[in-house]
């Protein structure tokens, strides 16, 4: 969950806001409206996210932006995910993959377009 | 319930939290309701009761998710720590198993010995039967033939005893024939079956041993 939220926030260089984060997460999993606030709070407490207020339609909207620490955390999650999906793939397809190159590096290559 | 009512109730539900935490939550849901563009009267249907929302705010660690198509977000799967403790558990298991085995070793030795003796006894019975069945067949046949001969002699002097002896001879010959069938079955069916079951399992092992040596 933390990883998905970090990835979603990471997509916007400018930062993004609560409702949009919820909608983006909803494209891949079914979460209720009140699910994400605790996650955002936790990520903020761990210094993975920072907030700032910006004017939008005559009111101040709160934006969430990923920090350096958050980006490092996200890369770690990506490495874990790569490793996990690789193993899962092997179990499902029953194939023995040839070890070529290390996983996490390949996962990081996709950072920009994800 | 409109936005203002919702936020007011949420604030009162969170009254005991530090002011900053409370304001953060209020700000988040205020933005959320504005951005979502909910009908002012249906905010509560969309978000849930202020009480339920307050519970999620309060419980930062506990995320309430509805069962979705993707139930394994990457952050929750590959945790090195639990795996390590799993391994430690597995290593700890043999320790108490060894203690248990040590305590029970006299019992296990006794059980093993009695199993061995039982096995030897079964083997002995099989061998003895293999000898005893043909022997008794031969004995019965011999006794039957001898009683027939003796009966034929006796029948000339005293008819009832002669008949009795000859009858006994026939009875022995009959018993001998039955025993012959029984020994034939035992020697030709049962013993080969025993040998096969013993030697097949040994043959597998010795073949494996040969492969291992080569």
Model confidence over A25-67: pLDDT tens digits? 888 888 888 888 888 888 888 888 888 888 888 888 888 988 9
- Cα torsion angle, B62, B68, B71, B76, sign: negative
Task: Please report the pLDDT score of residue B98 as a whole number.
Answer: 78
Which of A31, A83, A84 is facing B68, going by the closest CB pair? Answer: A31
CA distances from B213 to B108, B204, B205, B210 (A): 33, 14, 12, 5
Extended beta strands in chain B, E state: none
Task: Please report the pLDDT score of residue B173 as a whole number.
Answer: 93
Q: CB distance A17–B74 less than 8 Å?
A: no
Task: Please report the pLDDT score of residue A32 as a whole number.
Answer: 82
Backbone dihedral angles phi then psi of residue A96, each to the nearest 5 degrees? -95, 110
Distance CA B88, CA B83 (A): 9
CA B83 to chain A, closest CA, distance in angstroms equals: 14
Task: Please report the pLDDT score of residue B209 as a whole number.
Answer: 58
**pLDDT above 80 (res A18):** yes
Distance CA B105, CA B125 (A): 30
Q: Judge contact between A10 and A28, C-beta under 8 A.
A: no
Quick check: pTM over 0.90? no
Own/partner contacts of A91-97, CB < 8 Å, gap of 24 or more, are none
CA dihedral of B97, B98, B100, B106, whole degrees rounded to 10? 140
Cα atoms in the 13 Å half-sphere on the side-chain side of B161 = 6
Distance CA A72, CA B187 (A): 79
**pLDDT above 50 (res A110):** no
Helix (H) or strand (E) holding A34: none
Taking one residue from A and the other from B, the number of pairs with CB-CB distance under 8 angstroms is 101
Provide residues of B within 8 Å CB-CB of chain A. 24-25, 27-29, 31-32, 34-36, 46-48, 52-53, 56-57, 59-71, 73-78
Mean predicted lDDT score pLDDT of chain B: 78
Intervals of chain B under pLDDT 50: 61-89
CA dihedral of A39, A36, B30, A13, whole degrees rounded to 10? 80
Distance CA B132, CA B126 (A): 10
Distance CA A79, CA B132 (A): 76
Distance CA B108, CA B99 (A): 13
- Residues of A within 8 A of B70 (CB-CB) are 28-29
Task: Please report the pLDDT score of residue B63 as a whole number.
Answer: 44
Share of chain A above pLDDT 90, in %: 11
ipTM of the predicted assembly exceeds 0.90: no
Task: Please report the pLDDT score of residue B206 as a whole number.
Answer: 62
Query: Which pLDDT band holds residue A91 (cuts at 50, 70, 90)?
Result: confident
Q: Angle at CA A73, nearest 5°, toward A69 and A75?
A: 120
Distance CA A3, CA A23 (A): 16
Q: Judge contact between A11 and B48, C-beta under 8 A.
A: no
Task: Please report the pLDDT score of residue B213 as a whole number.
Answer: 54
Extended beta strands in A42-97, E state: 49-56, 59-66
Task: Please report the pLDDT score of residue B92 as a whole number.
Answer: 57
**pLDDT above 50 (res A107):** no
Mean predicted lDDT score pLDDT of chain A: 80
């Amino acid at each position: 969950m933390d990883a998905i939220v970090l990835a979603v926030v990471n997509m916007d260089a400018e930062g993004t806001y609560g409702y949009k984060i919820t909608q983006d997460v909803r494209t891949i999993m079914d979460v209720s409206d009140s699910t994400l606030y605790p996650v955002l709070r936790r990520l903020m407490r761990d210094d993975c996210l920072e907030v700032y207020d910006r004017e939008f339609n005559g009111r101040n909207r709160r934006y969430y932006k990923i920090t350096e620490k958050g980006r490092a955390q996200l890369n770690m999650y990506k490495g874990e995910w790569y490793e996990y999906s690789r193993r899962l793939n092997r179990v499902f397809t029953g194939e023995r993959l040839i070890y070529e190159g290390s996983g996490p590096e390949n996962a990081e290559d996709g950072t920009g377009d994800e | 319930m409109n936005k203002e009512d919702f936020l007011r109730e949420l604030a009162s539900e969170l009254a005991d939290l530090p002011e900053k935490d409370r304001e953060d939550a209020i700000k988040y849901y205020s933005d959320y309701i504005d951005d979502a563009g909910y009908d002012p009267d249906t905010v509560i249907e969309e978000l849930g009761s202020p009480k339920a929302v307050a519970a999620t705010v309060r419980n930062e660690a506990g995320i309430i998710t509805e069962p979705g198509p993707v139930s394994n977000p990457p952050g929750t799967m590959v945790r090195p720590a639990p795996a390590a403790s799993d391994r430690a558990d597995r290593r700890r298991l043999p320790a108490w198993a060894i203690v248990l085995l040590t305590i029970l070793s006299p019992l296990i030795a006794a059980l093993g010995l009695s199993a061995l003796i039982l096995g030897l006894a079964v083997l002995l019975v099989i061998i003895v039967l293999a000898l005893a069945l043909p022997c008794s067949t031969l004995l019965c046949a011999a006794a039957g033939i001898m009683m027939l001969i003796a009966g034929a002699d006796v029948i000339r002097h005293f008819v009832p005893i002669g008949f009795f002896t000859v009858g006994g001879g026939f009875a022995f010959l009959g018993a001998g024939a039955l025993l012959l069938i029984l020994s034939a079955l035992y020697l030709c069916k049962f013993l080969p079956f025993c040998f096969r079951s013993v030697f097949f399992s040994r043959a597998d092992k010795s073949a494996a041993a040969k492969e291992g040596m080569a």
